[in-house]
Amino acid sequence: MSHRRKLAAGNWKMNGLWADLAEVTKLMERHPDPGCEILICPPATLLSRMSDLTVDGAVVTGGQDCHAKLSGAHTGDISAPMLADAGAEHVILGHSERRADHGETDEDVRAKALTALDAGLKVVICVGETLVEREAQNTLEIIGGQLAGSIPDSVTGENMVVAYEPVWAIGTGKIPTLGQIGEVHDFIRARLEKRFGAGVGRSARILYGGSVKPGNAAEIFAVPNVDGALVGGASLKADDFSPIITALENSR
Ligand code: 13P
């Protein structure tokens, strides 16, 4: 749908040192005036420096998680206002690695999203089924439950992005069939329209994530209701992320 601005998002996860900011410089040089939005979510340690680096460029930055509380005695955690203060415009929430490694529930994700929205951040809410759930043909039920539980009522089409990331496709080199991707994205679109109405439901972007690479990006971006990608490993190097961005720019 042409009215939704496409989004190429990189999730650096627990990767990246100061020297790796050179990759972001390279990326901005290659895409001075991109035909899509480019978001990079580095580790929190790099956020401030990356935000300074990209302030005049086409890349915006985001965090990978935030706490549900605004401040307080939560050693090692980071708050939404801190992310915004460091220059972040977005925050990824409910990534399957957070759900698995830190036991985050849909309720946790929803609470974090409310705080992030209050801090003026846009939220990228992740959903996705495990292989066991897919093989048991529970994919849509799982995704439906995650959407209902994780997304607060107050979102708009501008401040909320959904990322569909099948857990079994993350970092494995395996991707669903294009038909499977299309089925889930259509389902997410329908659920958003039903809950939030056509305005919000049709303007919110839905990203695909899980083993997106230069070699498969174009075919994934041709699937209806795929408005971009949330890219892990292939977002770390400009040589990998740049062709994915180009494929998105060239998609419908
Ligand atoms: P990979 O692209 O490395 O599979 O990771 C996807 C992901 O989890 C992005 O959030």
Alpha helices in 61-123, H assignment, sequence order: 80-85, 96-102, 106-118
Q: Which atom of ligand 1 is nearest to the CA of 171?
A: 4
Q: What is the pLDDT of residue 252?
A: 77
pLDDT in tens, 85-123: 999 999 999 999 999 999 999 999 999 999 999 999 999
Q: Would strands 59-63 and 37-41 be described as parallel, antiparallel, or unpaired?
A: parallel
Regions of the chain with pLDDT less than 70: 1-2
**What is the Å distance from ligand 1's center to 162 Cα?**
14
Q: Can you read off the two tokens belonging to residue 221?
A: 């971006």
Which residues have a catalytic role annotated?
Answer: 95, 165
Instruction: Please indicate whether residue 170, judged by its CB atom, sits closer than 6 Å to ligand 1.
Output: yes
Q: What is the pLDDT of residue 13?
A: 98
Asked if residues 165 and 126 have their Cβ atoms less than 8 Å apart, the reply is yes
One-letter identity of residue 104: E
- The DSSP annotation for 48-72 comes to HHHHHHTTTSSEEEEES---SSSSS
- 162 three-state secondary structure: strand
- Helix 139-150 vs helix 178-203: crossing angle, to nearest 10: 30
Tokens 């951040």 label which residue? 121
Q: Strands, E, within 120-180: which ranges?
A: 122-127, 160-164
Q: Which atom of ligand 1 is nearest to the CA of 172?
A: 4
Q: What is the pLDDT of residue 1?
A: 43
Question: Which residue's alpha carbon is nearest to atom 5 within ligand 1?
Answer: 232
Residue 202: partners with Cβ closer than 8 Å, 6 or more residues away? 1, 3, 4, 157, 189, 192, 193
Instruction: Please indicate whether residue 165, judged by its CB atom, sits closer than 6 Å to ligand 1.
Output: yes
Q: What is the pLDDT of residue 2?
A: 44
- 124 three-state secondary structure: strand
Of 11, 92, 241, the residue with max ligand 1 atoms within 8 A of its CB, to mutate for a pocket test, comes to 11
Counting DSSP H helices and E strands in the chain, the numbers are 10, 8
pLDDT in tens, 217-243: 999 999 999 999 999 999 999 999 999
Instruction: Please indicate whether residue 173, judged by its CB atom, sits closer than 6 Å to ligand 1.
Output: no
Instruction: Please indicate whether residue 238, judged by its CB atom, sits closer than 6 Å to ligand 1.
Output: no
- 211 three-state secondary structure: coil
Alpha helices in 67-222, H assignment, sequence order: 80-85, 96-102, 106-118, 131-135, 139-150, 178-203, 217-221
Domain spanning 7-249: which CATH class is it, in words? alpha beta
- Enter the pTM of the model: 0.98
* Cα–Cα distance, 94 to 104 (Å, whole number): 7
Instruction: Please indicate whether residue 176, judged by its CB atom, sits closer than 6 Å to ligand 1.
Output: no
**What is the Å distance from ligand 1's center to 129 Cα?**
14
Residue 150: partners with Cβ closer than 8 Å, 6 or more residues away? 93, 94, 106, 109, 110, 113, 125, 127
